Structure 1
Amino acid sequence: MLSAKSAEVVEATLPVVGGAIGDITPRFYDRLFAAHPELLRDLFNRGNQANGTQREALAGSIAAFAAALIANPDQRPDAMLARIAHKHVSVGIDNEQYKVVHEHLFAAIVDILGEAVTPEVAAAWDEVYWLMANALMAIEERLRAEVAAGTDQTDLWRPYTVVARHQETDTVTTYLVRPADDGSLPASRPGQYVSVRTELADGAHQIRQYSLSGGADNALRFSVKRDGEVSGHLHDNLHAGDTVELAPPLGDIFLAEGDGPVLLASAGIGNTPMTAMLDHLAATGSARQVISVHGDRDQLSHAFRADLEQLTAKLANATAHVFYEQPLGEWPAERTGLVNLSTVEVPVGTTAYLCGPLPFLRAVRGQLIEAGVPAADIHYEVFGPDLWLGAGA
């Protein structure tokens, strides 16, 4: 992996570079978008750039990769790389863009750290960058081949026709779409997402990922919560009969086959991929013990509430535990407030899947570990930039 000489330099300078990464990444993005404004317009999430979460995610991933190389020089952090690679393929990142990122990232490092970036330091961190970039490019190439093998489409983006739209709650809409060319649907796994590319009023082509929310006859089903410019645009403008561009389903967190107990824990719109997993289990007549846990504000904000009840009833060995912070009407006291797994029996051998905001993920993951679930058996998905990369999650 990392050469011995570079490992020494990186280990010595990691506190300095890591401490400055919060300043380096804004400078990097400013330089990148000044040179390539089309990337902000048509590739990067403008909302996440504006609120800084994308910048935090990049900083976290680079620092975490370097730290992993130092801590475990013979082991590549593939879980972290896989998460990034799936996102990259889903939006159309190509190998040439790694050269562009390298140019502006290292210029930003020099801008911020100045004379501290000696030729030796620059060479060591250059090695870190290309180890990470080359590993990602290799994973992404394999992913693209897998996607191509599972569909008859040749381009990443494919037009789909909206065949139905359903209002789950005041803020959540589900879309059923079919290929506009009447071709076959791409393969997907329960828990994965699709990327949606749409043209906004200012002509920008913005991309967002939305989880598939269950099976449908000869159609893809995905759900959108109104919480930004793209989701709002879709809610207001995408109706039955309209056309929308989608990339094939991707995502490294999906329901694995097996016969052991499975726990699906979510908060808010995080139950979208969990609904897809539960739907798959019900459709296949699974005999697995299934424990669904969901937290929401109240009954009216709880999307897929009927789906949870119906799918749980279809399974032979399934239970559902719903927590409301502000329940409407009578609701059990032990299910009022935030999700608390101390009131839920978690059997030995459980594989857990989590989706929701970071505070929820941290809390529930801690509760599962306390209940004896190994960290390796706890899988999580977070909507938006993953600020938890490399944090031991």
Structure 2
Amino acid sequence: MLSPQSIPVVRATLPVIGAAIDEIAELFYAKLFADRPELLRDVFNRGNQANGEQRRALAGSIAAFAAMLVNDPDTRPDVMLARIANKHASLGITASQYKLVHRHLFAAIGEVLGEAVTEAVAAAWDEVYWLMANSLIALESRLYRAANVADGEIWRQMTIVEHRSETSDVTSFALVRTDGEPAGDYQPGQYVSVQVELPDGARQIRQYSLSHAPGNPQWRITVKRVRDGVDPDGEVSSWLHANATVGDVLTVSAPFGELVLPPGDEAPLLIASAGIGVTPMIAMLEHLVSTGSSRPVTVIHADRAPSAHALREEQERCVAALPNARLLTWYEEPREFSGQSRTGRVDLSDVDLPKGLIAYLCGPLPFMRDLRANLLLRGVPARDIHYEVFGPDLWLV
């Protein structure tokens, strides 16, 4: 909670900071990487830096946190903080790095806003920063303890034991620990980071959902080759598709991620995905099958075409094995129209949704925004709609 003397200062300056926060974030990253170029080379996603998504996500999270402190001081944005903390933990971020971020962020604020940053303004926003940073540090420390690792010590070597093409641009890799130890447990819906050394020597990191249910002797990640025209263009997924094969060793993190099925709940579920967003949902569905769940489950998937629908047969098998489950699919390309599938974008207007529904969404942001808005109109409370974003979380921007 902000101190009484800081609340009016933050409230008064929030419009100014908010209007400039994108410029501040851009300058912050420029200063950070000039000081510590290895962070851009080996920690931060160079693609998200090139297209500006990481900058916009940082700006949105800071502005949203500050607005919450002054407008709703008795609550915390726990969902937002948990999502950021899990992503940080999957990169091995530690408490000491928050001091480095503070130094360059406040240098950027001072440079962009100039004389507007009085002593009182600097002190108030310093308080905002450390309230957010200390919350994240505490959450990340708990995540490391839950993973049975020291803070930041998340990495292990894993060998590829199976390489399977799912579609023309999606491949699954089965992994075992190189040291012979068990792969380890995780919660259905979680992801791991994979670090690869690229031809220029950079060790870039990307997150991939574990696309099998817990309990398998192997971990599995399912990777879509990214071709979005951004420079660098899907450099890790492209490297994995072009180079990774059976017998190769990958550097893989402990599992993290907050989009998980809570244990012991029997509420009806909506499990909705689009494109490669199907991967964490397959783990959830396999888990429901393996635990003999009888809860009502509505599964929705949207894709370009049936031939682009990765893990489609596994999804269909899981739904068929659940006594109270149904699968609804939408495909954009009518020439590949298949069975009971529908064409176009997902439309829930004629889909019967049970009361007490809990929704899990994963896919491109426009898909999740549309679906969330539709669910809210249908009376599903916001607290019961959960989502996972592949990449920086731009929901608040």
For the aligned pair, the TM-score class normalised by the smaller chain equals over 0.9
Aligned to 1:222: 221
Which is further off, 224-233 or 178-187?
A: 178-187
| In the alignment, structure 1 residue 129 sits paired with structure 2 residue 134 | no
Return the alpha-carbon distance in structure 2 between the equivalents of residues 131 and 329 of structure 1: 52
Asked if structure 2 preserves the Cα contact closer than 8 Å seen for 1:200 and 1:233, the reply is yes
Alpha-carbon spacing, 1:221–1:41, altered in 2? closer, same or farther (3 Å): same
Alpha-carbon spacing, 1:78–1:269, altered in 2? closer, same or farther (3 Å): same
Asked if structure 2 preserves the Cα contact closer than 8 Å seen for 1:279 and 1:311, the reply is yes
Return the alpha-carbon distance in structure 1 between the equivalents of residues 268 and 253 of structure 2: 32
How is 1:26-65 mapped onto 2 (pairs within 5 angstroms)?
26-65=26-65
Structure 1 counterpart of 2:311, one-letter code: F
Return the alpha-carbon distance in structure 2 between the equivalents of residues 154 and 26 of structure 1: 26
| In the alignment, structure 1 residue 8 sits paired with structure 2 residue 14 | no
Structure 2 counterpart of 1:243, one-letter code: V
Equivalent residue pairs, number = 388
Give the CA RMSD over aligned residues.
Answer: 1.6
Return the alpha-carbon distance in structure 2 between the equivalents of residues 143 and 26 of structure 1: 29
Aligned to 1:364: 371
Q: 1:378 aligns with which of 361, 366, 385?
A: 385
Return the alpha-carbon distance in structure 1 between the equivalents of residues 198 and 152 of structure 2: 25
**TM-score, length-scaled by structure 1:** 0.96
Asked if structure 2 preserves the Cα contact closer than 8 Å seen for 1:324 and 1:338, the reply is yes
| Aligned-pair CA distance for 1:361 | 0.7
How is 1:185-204 mapped onto 2 (pairs within 5 angstroms)?
185-204=183-202
Structure 1 counterpart of 2:125, one-letter code: W
Return the alpha-carbon distance in structure 1 between the equivalents of residues 178 and 131 of structure 2: 40
Asked if structure 2 preserves the Cα contact closer than 8 Å seen for 1:266 and 1:355, the reply is yes
> 1:56-84 deviations in whole A, cap 9, x for unaligned?
00000000000010111122221111111
> 1:211-247 deviations in whole A, cap 9, x for unaligned?
0111373110111110100000011111111100111
Structure 1 counterpart of 2:357, one-letter code: T
In the alignment, structure 1 segments of 5+ residues that lack a partner are none
In the alignment, structure 2 segments of 5+ residues that lack a partner are 227-233
How is 1:84-233 mapped onto 2 (pairs within 5 angstroms)?
84-148=84-148, 155-215=153-213, 217-227=216-226, 228-233=234-239
Alpha-carbon spacing, 1:179–1:332, altered in 2? closer, same or farther (3 Å): closer
Q: 1:242 aligns with which of 248, 267, 271?
A: 248
Return the alpha-carbon distance in structure 2 between the equivalents of residues 328 and 308 of structure 1: 22
Structure 2 counterpart of 1:96, one-letter code: S
| In the alignment, structure 1 residue 256 sits paired with structure 2 residue 262 | yes
Structure 1 counterpart of 2:375, one-letter code: L
Return the alpha-carbon distance in structure 2 between the equivalents of residues 260 and 96 of structure 1: 41
**TM-score, length-scaled by structure 2:** 0.95
Aligned to 1:308: 315
Structure 2 counterpart of 1:67, one-letter code: A
| Aligned-pair CA distance for 1:155 | 3.5
Aligned to 2:276: 269
Return the alpha-carbon distance in structure 2 between the equivalents of residues 382 and 75 of structure 1: 23
